[in-house]
C-alpha cells in the first residue's frame, strides 16, 4: 500500500463566498435549512405529528373497554366489579405497545403532541404515584413504568427534542430513581431492578443528549444524579469533566464528583462522609453502591488494622459506616469480621470474607437514605423542587 504522505484535504473545488457579518450568515444558514427541510421532505416521509389531545386515543379507549383490558386504576369508580367495567376517560392513559410489522404506529390520531405528553406525565405523578390510596406500590410502579414508556414511544415517533423532551425525561428519571430505592428488596417477580436500570440508563443517556444543546435549568441536578447512579464509571466521570464550567462547578455536580473521586481513590470513609450531604433523591441514586462501599471499608480496615491486639470501638466503626451499632455488628458478622462481647471490633486480614450471595439484604441498611426523606412527599420528589 502506498506510504505517500498525501495531504488529508482531498479537493480544491471553489469555496463558497465567505459571508460578512453575523446577521447575514444566520440568514444564509436559515435559507439553506429551509431548502434542506424541503428536500428532506421530498426524500423521506414527513415526521408524524400527533393530534390526540387526551391522555389516551379515543380508539384505544373503545378497544380496551370492549375487550376488558382496562387497568383497574383506569376504571370508572363503582364499575370495577362489573362483568365489563367501564373506562373513566379522565384516567385512561395510552399503554405501551411493541412496534410490529403491519401495525401502524404513526397515525396522528393515536399520537399525543408534546403538551399532552407533559400533561400525561403530571397526571401519572400527581394522581397515581403520589396518591396514598393506591396499593401496593409495586402495582403503581408497573402502571406508571408502562405508561411512561408509551409516552417516550410517542416522543420517539414524533422525533420530539429539546425542551419538550427534557420536560418529560426529567420526571421520568426522578421516578425511576425513587423507585429503585423504594422497591429495593422486593421479590424478583414483583420488581426487577435490572429492567428499571436499563430504562433509567436509556432515559439518562437521552437526557444527556438533549442537554448538549440549549439551556436547561435543571441540568446540574441531573448531571449529579447520573454521576451518583453511575458511581465509579470512568465514562460518566469523563463526560462530567467535559461539561461546561458553570455546570461542573455547581454544588450538586461538585459534590457528586468529589464522591466519585473518593471512590476512585478508594477512600470509603471519605465517600460515606460526603454521602451524608446528599439530599434524598441523590441518596436514592447512590444507594445501590453503598453495600460495596461498606464492604470496601471493612476490607481495607481488615488489612490495615490487622494485629493481635486490635481493639477498634464498634460505635466508631458504626459511625463511619453510617449505621447504628446493631446493624454495624450484623454487617461485620456477614463479612467475617469479629466483634467481641464488649463492642470491640477485632480486625484481621485472614478472617475477612465476602458475604454469601443473598445473605445480606439491602433494605435493613436503608437508614442513611430513609432519614433524608423526612417530610418530602412523593409528589415533590418526582416533580423536583418546583
Partner 1 sequence: MAHITINQYLQQIYEAIDNREGSFCAELLSFKHPHVANPRLQLSSPEEKCQQVLEPPYDEMVAAHLRCTFAVANHDFVEAYKLQTLVVQSFLKAFQSHKEENWALPVMFVVALDLRIFANNAEQQLLKKGKGKVGDMLEKAAELLMSCFRVCASDNRASIDDSKKWGMLFLINQLFKIYFKINKLHLCKPLIRAIDSSNLKDEYTMAQRVTYKYYVGRKAMFDSDYNPAEEYLSFSFQHCHRSSQKNKRMILIYLLPVKMLLGHMPTHQLLRKYDLMQFSDVTKAVSEGNLLLLNEALAKHETFFIRCGIFLILEKLKIITYRNLFKKVYHLLKTHQLPLDAFLVALKMMRVEEVDIDEVQCMLANLICLGHIKGYISHQHQKLVVSKQNPFPSISSVS
Q: Does 354 bind partner 1 (CB under 8 A)?
A: no
Which is closer to partner 1, CB of 76 or CB of 343? 343
Q: Does 235 bind partner 1 (CB under 8 A)?
A: yes
For the residues of 161-211, what is the DSSP string, one character each? -HHHHHHHHHHHHHHHHHHHHHTTT--TTT--HHHHHHHHHHHHHHHHHHH
Q: Does 343 bind partner 1 (CB under 8 A)?
A: no
Beta bridge partners of 75: 87
Side-by-side strand order, sheet with 312-313: 312-313, 344-346, 338-339
Binding partner 1 by CB under 8 A: which of 18, 67, 215, 309?
A: 309
Vertex 381 angle, CA 270 and 245, to 5°: 55
Q: Does 250 bind partner 1 (CB under 8 A)?
A: no
Q: How far is the CB of 252 from partner 1 (least distance, A)?
A: 18
Can you read off the three cell numbers belonging to residue 369? Answer: 437514605
Give residues 263-302 in contact with partner 1 (rule: CB under 8 A).
Answer: 264-270, 273, 297, 299-301
Which is closer to partner 1, CB of 85 or CB of 291? 291
Give residues 198-227 in contact with partner 1 (rule: CB under 8 A).
Answer: 209, 213
Q: How far is the CB of 106 from partner 1 (least distance, A)?
A: 20
Q: Does 303 bind partner 1 (CB under 8 A)?
A: yes
Task: Give the whole-angstrom CA distance, residue 283 versus residue 275.
Answer: 7
Binding partner 1 by CB under 8 A: which of 76, 130, 247, 320?
A: 320
Beta bridge partners of 346: 338
Stretch binding partner 1 (CB under 8 A), from 5-13, 220-228, 286-294, 367-375: 5-13
Task: Give the whole-angstrom CA distance, residue 352 versus residue 237.
Answer: 31
Q: How far is the CB of 380 from partner 1 (least distance, A)?
A: 31
Three-state secondary-structure class, residue 87: strand
Which is closer to partner 1, CB of 134 or CB of 320? 320
Which is closer to partner 1, CB of 84 or CB of 311? 311
Q: How far is the CB of 175 from partner 1 (least distance, A)?
A: 24
Binding partner 1 by CB under 8 A: which of 148, 167, 237, 281?
A: 237
Q: How far is the CB of 145 from partner 1 (least distance, A)?
A: 25
Distances in Å between the Cα of 228 and the Cα atoms of 89, 205, 262, 386 are 39, 14, 12, 22
Q: How far is the CB of 41 from partner 1 (least distance, A)?
A: 14
Residues 93 and 56 sit within 8 Å (Cβ to Cβ): yes
Residues 227 and 236 sit within 8 Å (Cβ to Cβ): yes
Q: How far is the CB of 285 from partner 1 (least distance, A)?
A: 20
Which is closer to partner 1, CB of 180 or CB of 260? 260
Q: How far is the CB of 264 from partner 1 (least distance, A)?
A: 7
Residues 76 and 88 sit within 8 Å (Cβ to Cβ): yes
Residues 241 and 260 sit within 8 Å (Cβ to Cβ): no
Residues 51 and 111 sit within 8 Å (Cβ to Cβ): yes
Q: Does 304 bind partner 1 (CB under 8 A)?
A: yes
Binding partner 1 by CB under 8 A: which of 28, 31, 33, 69?
A: 33
Q: Does 306 bind partner 1 (CB under 8 A)?
A: yes
* Ranges assigned E (strand) in the chain: 312-313, 338-339, 344-346
Number of shown-chain residues binding partner 1 (CB under 8 A): 43
Binding partner 1 by CB under 8 A: which of 67, 135, 238, 341?
A: 238
Query: What 3 state SS string does 295-308 have?
Result: HHHHHHHHHHCCCC
Neighbours of 228 (CB within 10 A): 26
Binding positions for partner 1, rule: CB under 8 A? 1-4, 6, 10-13, 16, 33, 209, 213, 234-235, 237-238, 241-242, 261, 264-270, 273, 297, 299-301, 303-307, 309-313, 320
Amino acid at each position: 500500500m502506498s506510504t505517500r504522505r498525501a495531504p488529508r484535504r482531498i479537493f480544491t473545488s471553489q469555496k463558497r463566498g465567505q459571508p460578512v457579518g453575523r446577521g447575514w450568515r444566520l440568514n444564509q444558514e436559515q435559507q439553506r435549512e429551509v431548502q434542506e427541510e424541503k428536500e428532506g421532505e421530498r426524500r423521506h416521509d414527513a415526521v408524524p405529528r400527533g393530534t390526540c389531545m387526551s391522555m389516551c386515543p379515543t380508539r384505544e379507549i373503545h378497544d380496551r373497554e370492549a375487550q376488558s383490558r382496562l387497568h383497574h386504576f383506569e376504571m370508572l369508580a363503582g364499575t370495577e366489579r362489573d362483568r365489563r367495567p367501564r373506562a373513566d376517560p379522565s384516567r385512561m392513559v395510552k399503554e405501551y405497545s411493541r412496534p410490529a410489522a403491519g401495525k401502524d404506529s404513526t397515525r396522528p390520531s393515536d399520537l399525543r403532541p408534546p403538551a399532552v405528553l407533559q400533561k400525561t406525565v403530571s397526571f401519572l405523578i400527581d394522581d397515581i404515584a403520589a396518591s396514598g390510596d393506591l396499593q401496593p406500590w409495586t402495582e403503581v410502579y408497573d402502571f406508571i413504568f408502562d405508561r411512561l414508556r408509551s409516552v417516550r414511544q410517542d416522543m420517539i415517533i414524533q422525533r420530539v427534542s429539546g425542551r419538550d423532551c427534557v420536560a418529560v425525561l426529567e420526571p421520568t428519571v426522578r421516578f425511576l430513581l425513587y423507585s429503585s430505592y423504594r422497591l429495593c428488596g422486593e421479590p424478583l417477580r414483583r420488581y426487577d431492578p435490572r429492567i428499571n436500570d436499563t430504562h433509567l440508563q436509556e432515559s439518562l443517556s437521552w437526557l444527556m443528549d438533549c442537554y448538549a444543546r440549549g439551556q436547561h435549568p435543571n441540568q446540574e441536578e441531573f448531571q449529579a444524579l447520573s454521576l451518583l447512579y453511575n458511581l465509579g464509571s470512568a465514562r460518566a466521570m469523563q463526560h462530567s469533566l467535559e461539561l461546561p464550567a458553570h455546570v461542573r462547578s455547581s454544588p450538586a455536580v461538585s459534590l457528586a464528583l468529589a464522591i466519585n473521586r473518593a471512590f476512585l481513590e478508594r477512600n470509603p470513609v471519605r465517600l460515606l462522609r460526603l454521602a451524608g450531604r446528599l439530599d434524598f433523591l441523590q441518596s436514592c441514586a447512590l444507594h445501590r453502591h453503598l453495600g460495596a462501599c461498606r464492604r470496601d471499608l471493612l476490607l481495607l480496615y481488615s488489612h490495615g488494622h490487622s494485629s493481635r491486639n486490635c481493639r477498634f470501638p464498634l460505635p466508631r466503626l458504626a459511625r463511619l459506616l453510617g449505621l447504628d451499632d446493631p446493624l454495624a455488628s450484623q454487617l461485620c458478622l456477614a463479612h467475617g469480621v469479629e466483634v467481641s462481647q464488649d463492642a470491640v471490633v477485632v480486625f484481621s486480614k485472614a478472617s475477612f470474607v465476602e458475604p454469601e450471595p443473598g445473605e445480606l439484604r439491602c433494605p435493613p441498611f436503608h437508614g442513611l437514605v430513609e432519614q433524608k426523606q423526612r417530610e418530602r412527599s412523593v409528589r415533590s420528589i418526582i416533580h423536583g423542587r418546583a
